[in-house]
Amino acid sequence: MKTSRTVLLASLAGVGLALSLATVAVSAGNPVEERQAAMKSVGQSMKEASALTATFDAAKAKASMDSVAGAAKKLKGLYPTDSANDPKTGADPKVWTQKADFEKRLAEMGSLATAAGKTTDADSFKASFKAVGETCKSCHDVYRMKKKPA
């Protein structure tokens, strides 16, 4: 029967839509968790990359640095104004009062990482990897709370 099949298909499509809307709601609802997870992945990539300063591997260097650069892009969108007072954030309120400087620093971390990923020898990698690492502390000194809320 044609009608019931159409109804069935329509309701299946409805379920699919509801599921995908639920997924969107979850990810849009937790920018704090998402940015903390993205920062953690940056930390992980930096750890992997630091091993390459001893035994250089151009492909691995590119992969880890591209991942940092990708995170920098993603992070830019994860500081909506209404997340400033979230009790779980470890971000300093200055992120929102000095947003342009904050975003400039994120972009710098990204472009330095992209550059580090393009190096083809250990010495250049070491130097450019160090430059990426310096962006972490200098930003954290200003924009990250000394102690993350429990």
Q: Give the binding site for ligand HEC (CB under 6 A).
A: 32, 35-36, 39-40, 42-43, 46, 68, 89-91, 95, 102, 105-106, 109, 132, 135-136, 139-140, 143-144, 148
Q: For ligand HEC, which is the closer residue by CB, 120 or 130?
A: 130
CB of 60 to ligand HEC, least distance (A): 16
Q: For ligand HEC, which is the closer residue by CB, 3 or 112?
A: 112
* Other Cβ atoms within 10 Å of 95 Cβ, number: 21
What 3-state DSSP class applies to 13? helix
Structure tokens at 50: 């630091």
What 3-state DSSP class applies to 144? strand
Angle at 130 between CA 147 and CA 80, to 5 degrees: 45
Q: Which long-range contacts (CB under 8 A, 24 or more apart) does 2-7 make?
A: none
CB of 135 to ligand HEC, least distance (A): 4
- Torsion 134-131-104-38 (CA) sign: negative
CB of 91 to ligand HEC, least distance (A): 4
CB of 102 to ligand HEC, least distance (A): 5
Q: For ligand HEC, which is the closer residue by CB, 57 or 134?
A: 134
